[in-house]
Amino acid sequence: MSTVVDDELWSAIGDPIRRTMIDLLLSDGPGTATSLSRQLPVTRQAVSKHLAVLDRVGLIHAEPAGRERHYQVDEAQLARAVAQLSAVGSTWDARLRRIKRIAETVERHRTNEGS
Amino acid sequence: MSTVVDDELWSAIGDPIRRTMIDLLLSDGPGTATSLSRQLPVTRQAVSKHLAVLDRVGLIHAEPAGRERHYQVDEAQLARAVAQLSAVGSTWDARLRRIKRIAETVERHRTNEGS
DNA sequence: GTTGAGTGCAACCAAAGGTTGCGAAAGGTG
DNA sequence: CACCTTTCGCAACCTTTGGTTGCACTCAAC
């Protein structure tokens, strides 16, 4: 059975620019498209598109303030995303461990019978 | 400071089809482009391209067998990828926790002084 | 009012994921 | 051997996505 994950959430945090944006919003607090673009290697418009994607999947939400739009991380949603990350990680981890154990078992059998 | 991760590894496992492919290779053992495409909603050629991507970043490696090419997961590399996943997850988790703690502290102050 | 910073929208470009079509190599069978 | 089937790789093409430039709009401040 394949791992059950929300593909939209995954693809949202799969992009390196978007991951950095989340990092920035977490470490520096709420920011705007312009303020984020100053710390990123892409234009404001590109940042704006990424913000739209993150907003659409609910990882961040905007708060209009005068002529600016302040974006900030939705903690509950990010927590959900982190949970999915670690879920996939631990699934693979468990399978790797199982494969290793089987390999060792086979090795043991081979050694015993090969004498 | 932004989280330090190998962007190539991330984008490799960021694709839902590629994640499923890794799942299949882990659960069913080595497979070919054709055998994988039978269990996936895309054509053999698409699977072949994904296999090339995963091969390029080292998550899997091919073993020619007659007219077939058997692909299997490189356990060490996948373990590295899993480590990076959990690293990002725990970084965000820690920041969420810190934000929550600060929020609670502020709340405590507000309540005390607001009496 | 005029000026300037911040935004949104539209057009355009390049890369990535996906498809179809075809030709080549390896295995099975008459 | 000849034939047929399976698997594969390559090339052409389409669509989506990330990125850019250019322009018009809004709101705050002078």
pLDDT at B1 over 80: no
Q: What is the Cα–Cα distance from B60 to A2, expressed in whole angstroms?
A: 18
Closest among A63, A86, A62 to B92, alpha carbons compared: A86
Residue of B7, B22, B80, B88 to mutate when probing chain A, most A C-beta within 10 A:
B88
Whether the CB of B7 is below 8 Å from some CB of chain A: the reply is yes
Q: pLDDT-based confidence at B2, cuts 50/70/90?
A: very low
Of residues A41 and B8, which shows the higher confidence score? A41
pLDDT at A60 over 80: yes
Q: What is the pLDDT of residues A19-59, one digit of tens each?
A: 999 999 999 999 999 999 999 999 999 999 999 999 999 99
Closest among A72, A45, A77, A43 to A59, alpha carbons compared: A77
Instruction: Taking the CA atoms of B100, A33, A8 and B46 in sequence, report the sign of the dihedral they define.
Output: negative
A50: amino acid identity, one letter: H
Nucleotides of C under 7 A from a protein CB: 4-10, 17-21, 25-27
B90 CA, C11 C1': Å apart: 42
pLDDT at A100 over 70: yes
pTM: 0.86
Q: What is the Cα–Cα distance from B14 to A17, expressed in whole angstroms?
A: 13
A99 CA, C12 C1': Å apart: 50
pLDDT at B3 over 60: no
Q: With both helix axes pointing from N to C terminus, report the angle between B16-28 and A7-14 in degrees, rounded to the nearest 10.
A: 110
* pLDDT score recorded for residue B4: 59
Of residues A104 and A95, which shows the higher confidence score? A95
Q: pLDDT-based confidence at A111, cuts 50/70/90?
A: confident
pLDDT at A114 over 70: no
Residue B86 Cα distances to A45, A53, A68, A99, angstroms: 31, 23, 35, 20
Nucleotides of D under 7 A from a protein CB: 6-11, 18-22, 26-28
A67: phi then psi, degrees, rounded to nearest 5: -90, 5
Residue B85 parent element (H or E): helix B75-113
Burial call A30-59: b when 16+ CB within 10 Å, e when fewer: ebbbebbbeebeeeeeebeebbebbbebbb
Average of pLDDT values for A77-101?
93
Residue A28 Cα distances to A2, A24, A70, A86, A115, angstroms: 37, 6, 12, 25, 65
The reply to whether A45 has its C-beta less than 7 Å from any atom of strand C is: yes
Q: What is the pLDDT of residues B57-102, one digit of tens each?
A: 999 999 999 999 999 999 999 999 999 999 999 999 999 999 888 8
B52: phi then psi, degrees, rounded to nearest 5: -60, -40
What is the share, in percent, of chain A residues with pLDDT greater than 70?
93
pLDDT at B115 over 50: no
* pLDDT score recorded for residue A4: 59
Q: What is the pLDDT of residues B14-56, one digit of tens each?
A: 999 999 999 999 999 999 999 999 999 999 999 999 999 999 9
Q: Do A14 and B19 touch (CB under 8 A)?
A: no
